[in-house]
Amino acid sequence: MADVIAARGLSFRYGDEPVLSRVDFSLRAGDFAAVIGANGAGKSTLLRLLLGEIAPDAGDIRLFDRDVRRFKDWPRIGYVPQKGLASVSSFPATVEEIIEAHISSRTGPLRLSREARRARVRRALAWVDMEDYAKRLIGRLSGGQQQRVLLARVLAGEPELMLLDEPTAGVDAETVQALYGLLSRLNRETGLTVLMVTHDVARAAEVVSRVLCLEEGTLVELGRAQLYEELSHRHKHEIN
């Protein structure tokens, strides 16, 4: 079975500032991985490289065994950016309208019937326990509820790989716990491959199968013993 993501010798710099240096990693179908690291370590940059938004200075990336520079099958990949609904939260649009518009943008307006699109909307909202909010204006929802809708919007596209950039930023602890539980359930029950950038190492460690740490431009996978050491170090730093 081919890797869902394969990066080899990946290097990138902003001007004269190196960000990534000969990064190697891969994800198999069904992996649930967290990418951790300090601010400015290059976590969001890594996602932008995977999405083809920027090009590496060296190395290559393959998505579903195809070079990212020639990859065209983007509906197979769902992306949850930081504060992704901020730009539409003031629109006079309902939750279901926002999700249905996203489905049309991914599949084309004529590929699915209106009923098929609505069925996808209902399924996606059910996954995130937001089916009762379908007719609610997006601007009337709390930050945590909007984050659930953002996740539902991506899920409605039925991706095989999901990339998330700090999906729990700015939401309360209860929502964080629910979101991680949902991602874990999706991973287990549907085989969805997940790569998530997060600062919330302790909670993420409870649900992910792999932890990748970006530090000084390099990416290393942490075993459980190394992860516990990292958590202990962070806990002591917070106390001091």
CATH architecture of 1-72+195-240: 3-Layer(aba) Sandwich (3.40)
Distance (Å, whole) CA 117 – CA 134: 13
pLDDT value for 156: 92
Which segments in the chain show pLDDT lower than 70? 1, 83-90, 108-110, 224-240
pLDDT value for 240: 46
| Domain residue limits, the chain | 1-72+195-240
pLDDT value for 62: 97
pLDDT value for 212: 94
| pLDDT 10s digits, 36-81 | 998 888 999 999 999 999 999 999 999 999 999 999 999 999 999 8
Q: Which of 164, 216, 209 is CA-nearest to residue 33? A: 209
The two beta strands, 77-80 and 161-165, are parallel
* DSSP state string for 119-143: HHHHHHHHHTT-GGGTTSBGGGS-H
